[in-house]
Homo-oligomer: A and B are copies of this chain.
């Protein structure tokens, strides 16, 4: 198992990168984060010794996250493989969904979260009461009702 040493400040992965790797931290400290459209940084995860850092996305999607080095670190680098085992593939999928959800909760406004939800799960929107969608988005039903009507007014 070959490992590499990386220096503080080094950037291991950028948003949009393809062929991203999986990093197992043997020592030191990494972090993964996004930068949103307004230029704000949102840390997704700190990775001390023993943690794994990677985009929780399948190997063929471009990265959502930046990964950089907070403290000089020793890493084991692994290739991502397209997951063949269906059970494992489902787990990778779930991780991806949750990663997107966390980023959404940290960086998007109520209306942006709503639009994203409608685009991602158009069928669910039809099937559950609006208050449940609000609950999923982390806002109150009143707030959802309000932002939706404001959104309609501005167009």
List the interface of chain A (C-beta within 8 A of B): 29, 31, 33, 41-43, 45-46, 48, 52, 56, 70-71, 88, 90-92, 94-95, 98-99, 101-102, 105-106, 121, 123-124, 127-128, 132, 135-136, 138
Contact = CB atoms under 8 A, between A and B. Distances in A.
Given A46-B121, A70-B128, A98 B102 contact: yes
Contacts of A92: 91
A123 B90 contact: no
A31 B136 CA distance: 10
A94 B32 CA distance: 14
Contact of A29 (B91, B99, B127, B135): B127
Given A95-B95, A105-B102, A127-B70, A46 B136 contact: yes
